[in-house]
Chains A and B, each alone.
Chain A
Amino acid sequence: MEDDVIIGLEIHCQLNKLNSKLFCGCSTKHHGSEPNTHTCPVCLGLPGALPVINKKAVEYAIMVGLALNCGIAEHTQFYRKNYYYPDLPRGFQITQYDYPIAENGMMTVDVDSIERPVRIKRVHMEEDPGRLVHQGSIETSKYVLVDYNRSGMPLIEVVTEPDLRSPKEARRFINKLRNILEYLDVFDGSLEGALRVDANVSLKGGARVEIKNISSYKGVERALLFEISRQRNMKRRGVTVTQETRHYDDERNCTITLRSKEQAEEYRYFPEADLVPLSVKDWENKLKARLPELPEAKRDRFRSQYGISDNHAKVLTAEIRLANYYECVAGKCDPVMAATWVADYLKGELNYRDRDVRDAFEPEKMIFIIDQLKKAIITDKGAVEVIRVLLDEGGEPASIIKSRNLAKVESDITRKAVTEVISENASAVQDLRSGKPQAMNFLVGMVMKKTRGRADPEEVNLLLRELLECTL
């Protein structure tokens, strides 16, 4: 717990589920395309080309505002943020300033069972600039290439109040935000550049430092950890932290000075007269009705509908894809078993492989596995192995069970093995009869060995007791 840490975030998320850009008809599906192939006079900022707002993007932004419990503006307006940069084709970025689309929201994050409310200052819309491509590194590149495929991609910026108290909370917040956006189906966080974060961090009483352009989820926590320890060290040495903007270098894991307060940028915001103010009050009510079920509501429903534990419901609803996967499975088999197998085993195996639910096998296969478990054809251990093979090699669960001999052996085979073990290990039997319970473990082990692990240990145990008429 770091009581003196104050963190505020500005999170830029691409509304990359839209088909066209924010102000023109160009496709947003440019990932992996040749540079500058998804451009037109508008997103290249050619003289005379005018922006026209993508109404769908406004709808998406309103939905985000509603999901973050914000108030939606009656009128919203765009502004020009004027600055010179080679990736900015017009010399200004069209963004929102006064009159953002949504304001004054709230979201909670919980770390170590502490639930912290985080106030959302505003949600606003803006366009992405192009992308600079350096030859080699920034320092050694002789020139820079500009790719405008990204230019005009619709972004929303979520700005929090400085309510976060630790890098871990910050990361949690961002994850939760990402999940909500994916629930709304307006965002795919797995695409490159989909989410970028600026973080403001200070120690109580000290100056505020802004870290710009952190572009990975893990980077946020690392950048903040670095910056907090930097500020702590300065404080310890009696050096004053100055207000400045720093850049986070992901590769070297450090932050470096970009500009100080004295050189603060002057953006000369003023209204974008090419886009008339939008009255969005009517949209709000329509969109409210269309808002999908959000994580918390889904969690409560899972608990009551499927009778699963609090913890399972929470894990399963943290990501829309996992929730959907679970619902698919739970609909066709024991929902409580399904919760364990999806939330604990499948999710665990995916995490271990640093993979996503999207990389998992089809829910039908999971239903089959749970069915085999229920019918006692495979053991828990066998089921885990099926899951691992499916994730690593793919295939059909039935053939994996067969080819790896994972089906439990027939009871008479077990019985035969138990009889053999009893006759082959007279001294252990004697030990057991004379009251040494450890002997039971040995005998069970021998049976397991004989059946190459296919027998159910519980069943072997019972059989041994039965055949030896042992009352232990």
Chain B
Amino acid sequence: MSGQYEESIAKVFDRIKKSKINAYITLNEHEAMETARAVDKGEVTGRLAGMPVAIKDCITTKGIQTTCGSKILTGYVPPFDAEVTARVKKEGAVIIGKTNMDEFAMGSSTENSYYGVTRNPWDLNRVAGGSSGGSGASVAGLECRISLGTDTGGSVRCPASYCGVVGIKPTYGLVSRYGVVEYANSLEQVGPIARSVSDAALMLDVIAGHDPKDSTSVGEADKVTYTDHLNEGVKGLTIGVPEEYFGEGLNPSVEKAVWDGIMTLNKLGADYKKVSLPHTKYALSAYYIIAMCEASSNLARFDGLRYGLRTGKDENWHSTFSRIRAEGFGQEVKRRVMLGTYALSEGYYGKYYLKALKVRTLIKRDFEKAFKDVDVLAAPTMPTPAFKIGEKTEEPLSMYMADVNTLPINLAGVPSISVPCGFAGRLPIGLQLIGDLFAEPLLIRTAYTFEANTNFQKLPEGF
């Protein structure tokens, strides 16, 4: 006779195998079932004991293939766990598998994965968002309970918004990046995706905290327990509404749902006022310059010599290396690596990279100033609901535009949470709440209060 956890985990794998979502690149069935049985026997315990958890494929997992959605890392099995993986395992989670993503986290739709597009559980013809599309869709499609994504310019919040679930992008430095395969290392953070704010907060409890293996990890002597803050309400809070986040290209249904959300919080006791973040208009270009520059350097190590793809006959080092990179990287990755290389080259560094850093400082100051007046900022997570698969693949710029409301947050390093706030037709809409550095408790209590007083926490049709 099988135990309770073994049964429920077996069900999860059944569902995944029948699924059309394509949320996973690699399944970890054997080890997952073993963990579930161990939980049943009481041999494994912890805050996540027996919970099905999925991990984005750019976060290393010892002994489980980690591809970053790229052909170049096919078959790469890391010899070590990322710090977040280790923490999740330590709390007894059942690792279901590695979720699909835009190759090396470059994209907003998970269409750039070598392992195929991930479909949105609310509409299989639409994208699940990106780059953590698999992490978003697996939660929305009941293929795990909580997942881990990474957010470089909105990559956790975008799929959370498109898939109608909760996603948190923590303060830069709050969660260790050790073991996160770097794309744009000064911008990215690991964040939880869950169906409820409390589950997301629970996962944040597990993964947040100092890690000596990551120099940018911000040491906190007494760690905050985020789940302790869920019930603190919103009375007395002031919500700022940044006008720049309600600009051109904003879908009217999204605009309405977000304003309704702000009004709901207002009724629950929060004040609100309009604020301005004047440098927002420069964020998109600054973001992409910084991200591409960092990417061009971070991806230099993939040469197929020590791990990953190795095809064709070996020639001299330069030829082998060039051929493997030409074969192993997808188009978007090549585009960003080349643009980044160009922007860093002599004569252009000052024109692009240094200028982008200056903009970044101005954007940080915008937020600092705003948070002197307000506690939380509220805005749409994504300007539109999930778009159709293939709709934007030929237009990289319009794809980049989709991140316009999320990426300033990564430039500033502040935290932000996306919580479902309505529907456009049958497609979910996300409300983005942005806080000052380390204001996660405030964001979590605001989002939880909103969730507890609304009814957008639904399952897609047929689930």
Contacts and interface: CB of A to CB of B under 8 A. Distances in A.
A41 B353 contact: no
A423 B341 CA distance: 99
B451 interface: no
Contact of A53 (B66, B178, B215): B215
Contacts of A276: 215-216
Interface in B372-419: none
Contact of B341 (A45, A47, A50, A268): A268
Contacts of B212: 52
A277 to B, nearest CB: 10
A50 B177 contact: yes
- SS class, residues of chain B in contact with chain A: loop
B300 interface: yes
A276 B177 CA distance: 14
Contacts, number: 97
A394 B35 CA distance: 66
Given A84-B321, A86-B305, A52 B297 contact: no
A273 B186 contact: yes
A176 interface: no
Contacts of B297: 80, 82, 91-92, 268, 270
A91 B344 contact: no
Nearest to B218: A276
B60 A47 contact: yes
A112 to B, nearest CB: 43
A46 interface: yes
Contacts of B321: 84
A44 interface: yes
B78 A48 contact: yes
Most chain B CB atoms below 10 A, which of A266, A268, A273, A275: A268
B185 A273 contact: yes
Interface in B164-204: 177-182, 185-186
Interface in B118-141: none
Contact of B300 (A44, A48, A52, A90): A90
Contacts of A50: 177-178, 213-215
B307 A46 contact: yes
Contacts of B349: 268-270
Given A86-B305, A274-B185, A47 B68 contact: yes
Interface in B314-363: 317, 321, 341, 344-346, 349, 353
Contacts of B293: 270
B301 A89 contact: yes
Contact of A274 (B216, B296, B301, B353): B216
Given A46-B78, A86-B305, A90-B301, A270 B344 contact: yes
Nearest to A132: B317
Given A84-B300, A270-B297, A48 B181 contact: yes
Interface residues of A, number: 28
A47 B181 contact: yes
Nearest to B173: A276
Interface in A17-58: 41, 44-53
A52 B213 contact: yes
A297 to B, nearest CB: 37
Interface string A52-90: 110000000000000000000000000010101010011
Nearest to A274: B185
B73 interface: yes
A44 B179 contact: no
B331 to A, nearest CB: 20
Nearest to A40: B80
Contact of B60 (A48, A91, A266): A48
Contacts of A266: 345-346
A47 B78 contact: yes
Q: How large is the interface on B (under 10, 10 to 19, 20 to 34, 35 or more residues)?
A: 35 or more
A200 to B, nearest CB: 20
B423 to A, nearest CB: 37
A41 B80 contact: yes
Interface string A256-277: 0000000000101110011110
A128 B181 CA distance: 22
Interface string A284-323: 0000000000000000000000000000000000000000
A66 to B, nearest CB: 25
B456 to A, nearest CB: 35
A270 B354 CA distance: 9
Given A46-B307, A268-B341, A92 B300 contact: yes
B79 A48 contact: no
A293 to B, nearest CB: 35
- Judged by DSSP, the binding face of A is loop
Nearest to A23: B215
Nearest to B353: A270
B344 A82 contact: yes
Nearest to A83: B300
Contacts of B346: 266, 268
A96 to B, nearest CB: 15
Nearest to A52: B215
B341 A89 contact: no
B313 interface: no
B93 to A, nearest CB: 19
Contact of A49 (B178, B300, B306): B178
Nearest to A143: B314
Given A50-B213, A50-B214, A273-B185, A91 B179 contact: no
Contacts of B317: 86, 144
A273 B60 contact: no
B303 interface: yes
Given A47-B60, A53-B215, A273 B306 contact: no
B82 interface: yes
A144 B316 CA distance: 10
Interface string B63-81: 0001010000100101110
B312 to A, nearest CB: 16
Contacts of B214: 50, 52, 274
Contacts of A41: 78-80
A49 B59 CA distance: 11
A285 B96 CA distance: 53
B294 interface: yes
Contacts of A47: 60, 66, 68, 73, 76, 78, 181-182, 301-302
A82 B214 CA distance: 21
B215 A275 contact: yes
Interface string A387-423: 0000000000000000000000000000000000000
Given A89-B306, A276-B215, 8 more contacts: A41-B78, A44-B306, A47-B78, A48-B182, A52-B213, A92-B297, A270-B297, A273-B294
26 contacts: A41-B78, A46-B80, A47-B66, A47-B73, A47-B78, A47-B181, A47-B182, A48-B58, A48-B178, A49-B178, A49-B179, A50-B214, A52-B212, A52-B213, A52-B214, A82-B296, A84-B321, A86-B305, A91-B297, A91-B301, A268-B296, A268-B297, A268-B346, A270-B293, A270-B353, A274-B214
